[in-house]
Every structure is written in structure tokens, then in C-alpha cells.
Structure 1
Amino acid sequence: MKYKLGDFVRFVDEKMEGYVTRIIDEQMIGVTGDDDFEIPVLASKVTTVHGFEAGQSETKQPSANQKSADIPTQDKGVYLGVVNDAKAGSVVHFYLVNDTSYQLLTTLTTEKQQQIRGEYAGIIAPKKAVKIYSGQLADLQLWPKFKFQVLFYNAGSMSVNSPLVVEEKFNAKDFSGAKKQILLLDQQGWLIQLDEPELIIDAQKLKESFFKPAEEKLAVAKPQREVDLHIEKLRDDHQFLSSTEMLNIQMDHFRTALDAAIVHQYPDIVFIHGVGNGVLKHEIHKALSRNNRIQTFMDAHKDKFGYGATKVILK
């Protein structure tokens, strides 16, 4: 497979072109054009457009008088920066961001279905960022487990940092927050610190929290019996969101409402997702099929919603 996520390709037999937004298998890829529809196609039926290279907007360094407002300069400062592809918005690129004064000897391996694969190995200079992986954000639940291994090196008389080993299986909550400006990339994206300080748990405070009066504990609000997931009902700024961001917001709202319905022992609940291209409905049905608190689900009130709503029967 010679293509990578984000590559710009042209169809051999048709007047069509687009960006690689999915690697289906060794022979098949998914290509998304200007209409935002992804088309599965044999890799042999497309060709790379000359002069375009995925991820052209590589690392930009801040000017000498520019300070990292979002990434503090200190011994610690190893981050994973995740940014959308400039052209294929459904694709995200992972950058290892080094805001330390050390050279980082870095490897990334992934594990999926007990298959381990080497993805990246190299040396990342201080105040630099290097792209190490790409993925389809809509397939987040299918991503492998990531294992980062980092050695710190500096020829000067600095303290010696212990090797860093981080294993991470990402989920939706890692990308549910607002994006921030990643200065070493000069792009908006999600920033995840890999060498964050060890969490120290105050045992006494933890014990006290178990014995808080009921009125001090956070109550779970009752959801509506019909939950409208249309993005314009959830966000006023939806016109500025990518399709992937909208899907994540809709799925988060769906999960919150479903969990609340379970807590309040609803017999059933309806989710209005619309028809559209069917992606939201597919993701909802996939999540419902894996939830052991669900008895069954079906199209809801076809006379009222057509095929744009799903009724969920709870156990």
C-alpha cells in the first residue's frame, strides 16, 4: 500500500479526485471529494497528483521573541499534538511535540488484535515537532493501542530524566474539549501531555468524599423522552465545525442522555438523528448494540420521523 491518509489522488478511469480518508485494507482505500462523500476504490485505480504531498504544512518554528503560551518551557514538556489535515478534515495527524531542552530518542508502536507494529523511530530536537502517525477520527473506536517510548539526551550539564514509557488507548473524551493553538505547529488542535506529573491522591479527602451528604452529591438530570441530536439544536456555532467535530458532539450528547435515562430507570427513550448520510444513525446503533443495558432498539414512529429516529428499549 503506497498511499497514506491525507494523500491527494486522482481516479485513473474517471474525472474525479479527492483525499485519502481511509485505509480499508491492502488493496482498498476510501477517497473523499469536494462533496464530502467517501468512495471506496481499489488503490490501483487512483494515482497521486504530482506536486502534492500529504501533510505539506509541516512544523513551523516560532520566532525568537515568541513564547509558548500553551506549552510551558521546562524539563517536562513532551506532548502529543493532534491536528486535522488541512485538506481532508476527517483525517488527523499525530505530532510528537518536544518543548523540552532535550533531544528525544522516540519510538511509537501500535497494538491491535495482538498484532504489534512499528510506526515511528527517530530523534526529535528540542523545540521541534515531528509527525508520527495519521488516523481517521471517525474510526476512533477502532484505533490501536499506542505505546510511546522516549529517552532524554542533552550534552550539557542538565539533570538526567528517566525514560518515558506511555501506553494509551484513546477514546472520544480525549478529543471532546476545545482545540487550542499549538505554537510549535502553528495550528489549532488537541494537546495531550505524555510526561504529565504523577497524580498524588489525598487519601483523607478521598475518604471524606464517600461520606458526603446526599444533597452535596451531583444529581443526574433527567433527560427528555425524545432527544433531538440535530447539531443546530446542540451548538450555535455549528456552521464553523467540521463534520467530525459535529459527530463527536452528537455522540457525546447521545451517551449522556442514554446514561441519564438508565440512571432514572426510563423504560424507553427516543433519539432523533435525522436521515442525512446515515453516519450518525450508524454510530448510534453500533454503540447501542454493545451496551448490555439495552434490551432492543428500532426505528421510532415512522409516521412522525420517517427513518430519522431510533427508539431504545431499556432493561
Structure 2
Amino acid sequence: MKIGDKVQFLSDIGGGRIAGFQGKDIALVEDEDGFQIPTPISDLVVMSSSDDYSISKSIQKKSGAEEPTAADPDTFNMSVKAKINQMDEDVLEDEDEYDAADREITYKAKVEERKGGNVLNVYCAFVPEDVQNFSKTSFACYLVNDSNYYVHYLYMSVEGGSYKLRGEGELEPNMKMYVESFALEDLNEIDRVRFQLLSFKRDKEFVAKPVCDVQFRIDKVKFYKLHTFQKNDFFETPALLYPVVKNDGVAQLKPVDAEKLIYVDEEKDEKKLENKGGEAMKNAMEKLKNSSLNTSASHRNNRANGDDILVVDLHADELLETTVGMGSADILNYQLDYFRRTLEENKHNKGKRIVFIHGKGEGVLRHAIVNELRYRYKNYRYQDASFQEYGYGATQVMIR
């Protein structure tokens, strides 16, 4: 403290400026009436320094600014303790005026899981927006998550060799989400669509589902026929539903390569076989259906000596006489059907071990086989076969 400092009493009302000192512990405080009050320095608090005061005065004078208004007379002559109490009262008044209803809602209820919802089912739904005027209506596209999983999705349309992102987001369990609307004249833009899906659960353990990359063609003719829009469990109005993933999707998802999975509806396999190259595939599939694999005979030379291990080579040149007219998807579907038939014929041979040689390559066939074993044949044990005997491109399955 020094002469000229503006001070206020701690234990009494009022204050003033320091006019001088009496010894080391007593300050002479001059009030507004000119009286000097001897006060212990420990009972004073400096409100503003004389240096700050003079500097601010000189700045105000040079800049032409107005002097600050005088302090509130109701509070200037109050002690510091009284001012603190006054501030607390003001805070309490502000709290009384606060309405709890204005508070932001941060609570989020936990997701309630339904029985049977741990099997992944996702649908793409098209709903007419004006059923009464069907010939001119536009259509709303929804994604429906009929499972207990969160599903992060990308929704794209295929345009030649490239893609256009039409929607992305996160589907909550057992919920549906609006994606877009379009008119009949825009149908050509969604002639072929592609979905990429990643499913998971929050705040709890769960069984992992495969990452799905699904592509299929939209039948535009159906949008001109009212009867193709059926009653369903998800919408109050009729809707056209396309299953994107059904019962975990493995039975319907047929991988073509590591970055492309094509949705194949089993009921429509015969129609797809009529495409280019389909005749060769149809003949091969017909031959496979009408004949027993007779695995015990056809692979007897591949058994290990003294060990009941069945070795099945799934390479196309081992299974097919010719692949002329067959595309990569056709060959892969044939290999998977042969794999399923082999397991079906040996399902009663408990403890039997079967080694499927699929080759290393890009891992497409192996990926498809592992998906089948995880979800369609989940009771069977499987592992990589001995690389010393079969190399790195073989999987051993044990029938249970």
C-alpha cells in the first residue's frame, strides 16, 4: 500500500484514500468528508492503486474519453463481507428464476432388445407416398433394421463403373430410417444399388456379424403395379421390401471377389441362369443335383494312410470338365454348392475330418467357406489344415 491508493474497510462500512501512515502497521484513510481515520493495514483492502488511477486519468484526458461513472452508492459504502453476501443473494435469485424445463435433455434410455433379434435382418423398403394417386406418386426409400444390432450403412447407386453415394448413417436396433424420395422418372438412377453394412452392439458383448457388401438390381416394372406393394410389419401402408441381409445374410450372400458381394435370391437362381453363360452353369448345376457326390469313392485316393481324412479339392479344374461360358460368379456358386453337398452327405459321420483345398489366391473362396461355417454350419469345428501336407490354401472341418 502507498499514499493515494483507494482502499475499503474489511470489517466496517466505507473506505477512502490513503493520506499517510503512522508507523508500519497504521494507515491514515481519508474519507470523502476529509477526515483521516487511523486504520490497521490488515483491516484494509486496496480497491485501486494510485498508479493505475493516475495512468487511467491521463489516458482518458488524452483520448477525450468520459470518466467512468461513480460506483453504485448502495454498494460502495458496504464492507467486503457485505458485498460477498450480496453477490451470493444475487446468485440465489438467478437460480430461482432458472426453469429446469429449459435444461438440455442428455439422458438416453437403454436399447431394449427383443427375443429373436440377434439374427441380422435388414431390408430396403419402397413406400408410395400417395397410394390414392398411384400413377403419379413419388416413392420414399427406407432402410429397416429388424435386429438388436446397430447397423452403420452406406447406400449407393451404380453408374457404369462408378458409384454415387445416396445415403449414409446409423440404424438403431429395431428401427427404420428414411433415406430419400424419388419419382418414377428417376427409377433409372437406382437400377442397381449397393449397400455396405457394419453391425455391432454398444456397451455390451455381442457375436460379431460379417461386414456385408451387397449389390442387387431393382425391378423397375414393380413400381408400376400397385399389387406388388404388400402389407407388412414395418409400415402402416403397403410397401415393396427388398431383403438386403436375411437371417445373417450368409445363405443369400455369394461373394464374387474380395470387394464385391452379389445378393442372390435362391428362388430366382433359375432365372439368373438364363443370362449370358447361364446355360453352361445350368447344365453343371443340374448334373450336380442329379448325381451323388459319392465322396468316399471319388476322393479315396486322397485319404491319408491309416487316417480317415477326406480331402476335397475345390479348384474349378478338378470339379468341372470345362468352364467355357461360365463367369467367376457361376464358378464360385458351383464350388460352394459342392462344398455344401459334401458336408450334407457326411453329416452323420460324427468326428469325421474333411479337408477342403481352396487355394490361396485372393482368398475369395476361403472367405466364402469360412462364412458358411460360421453361420450355416456353426456346430462344426474348423481350422487351417496342415500347411506341410496341403499348403496354405486348405481348411479342415470336423463333423460334430
TM-score of the superposed pair, with normalisation by structure 1: 0.41
Q: Which is helix-richer, 1 or 2? A: 2
Q: Which is strand-richer, 1 or 2? A: 1
**Relative contact order: is structure 1 or structure 2 higher (C-alpha 8 Å, sep ≥ 6)?**
1
Greater Cα radius of gyration, structure 1 or 2: 2
TM-score of the superposed pair, with normalisation by structure 2: 0.34
